Amino acid sequence: MPVVMDADRIGRTLTRIAHEIVERNKGVEGLAIVGVRTRGVHIARRLARILKEITGDDVPTGALDITLYRDDLMRHAVGPQPLVRRTEIQFSIDNRTILLVDDVLYTGRTTRAALDALIDFGRPNAIQLVVLVDRGHRELPIKADYVGKNLPTAREESVQVRLMETDGTDEVVLQPFDAAQGKPGGGA
């Protein structure tokens, strides 16, 4: 069960991404961060903290639950509905540049759902995608603007991002199919 990123590596990676964000956007004016539940929200809050350290400015941060926008809802004849959690975006996204943050970029379907959900909140100037890990295997034409680590994977493998806030540790783990309790995938 190889650890592909440890706590130090995750910390340095987020700092590097924060600098890239400042460089590309010439500061943080007009920026807002929206994390995709669950782990994207924690990464989003960490990025907001680092951006504050770098620039001294607060960047508004929100949480997006994409469940009601999933493209696989109601696709199974019968089955339990995925849990819906609260979306909290307490600022107008109109005319801002939104940094959409997720832990793993995989098929791109979560990102597609997140884009649709965001557009229902208003009309941002631009949306830029931030991911901690890009594991490939895109099924939709979606590309990240800021990538923590490009991680070549097989579809049968599973990428687990564990964060202090939810899992008590900071690491990214690549699990082969068997160790993942028969469940392929991980991230979307």
Partner 1 sequence: MSTPVTPDVQPQPEVTALRHKDLLGIADLTPGEISLVLDTAEAMKEVGLRPIKKVPALRGKTVVNLFFEPSTRTRTSFEIAEKRLSADTLNIAIASSSVVKGETLADTAMNLEAMSPDMIVLRHASSGACHLLSRICKSAIINAGDGLHEHPTQALLDAFTIRERKGKLAGLKVAIIGDLLHSRVLRSNIYLLTKMGADVWICGPPTLVPTDIRRLGVQVTSQVDAAVRDADVVMLLRIQLERMEGAFFPSLREYFNVFGMTEERLRFARPDVMIMHPGPMNRGVEIASEVADGPYSVILDQVANGVAVRMAVLYLLAGGAEHEEAA
Provide the binding-site residues for partner 1, judged by CB under 8 A.
35, 37-38, 41-42, 45, 48, 52, 58-63, 65, 67-69, 72-74, 76-88, 90-91, 116-117, 120-122, 165-166
Minimum distance, C-beta of residue 188 to partner 1, in the bound complex (Å): 11
| Distance of alpha carbon 24 from alpha carbon 37, whole angstroms | 25
Compare residues 26 and 86 and give the one whose CB is closer to partner 1: 86
Q: Exposed/middle/buried for 11, CB within 10 Å: 0-12, 13-18, 19+?
A: middle
Structure tokens of 122? 């208003």
Minimum distance, C-beta of residue 12 to partner 1, in the bound complex (Å): 23
Compare residues 85 and 149 and give the one whose CB is closer to partner 1: 85
Minimum distance, C-beta of residue 27 to partner 1, in the bound complex (Å): 16
Amino acid at 25: N
Structure tokens of 161? 């991002």
3-state secondary structure of 141: coil
3-state secondary structure of 52: helix
Amino acid at 69: Y
Cα Rg of the chain, angstroms: 16
Minimum distance, C-beta of residue 162 to partner 1, in the bound complex (Å): 14
Compare residues 88 and 171 and give the one whose CB is closer to partner 1: 88
Compare residues 5 and 188 and give the one whose CB is closer to partner 1: 188
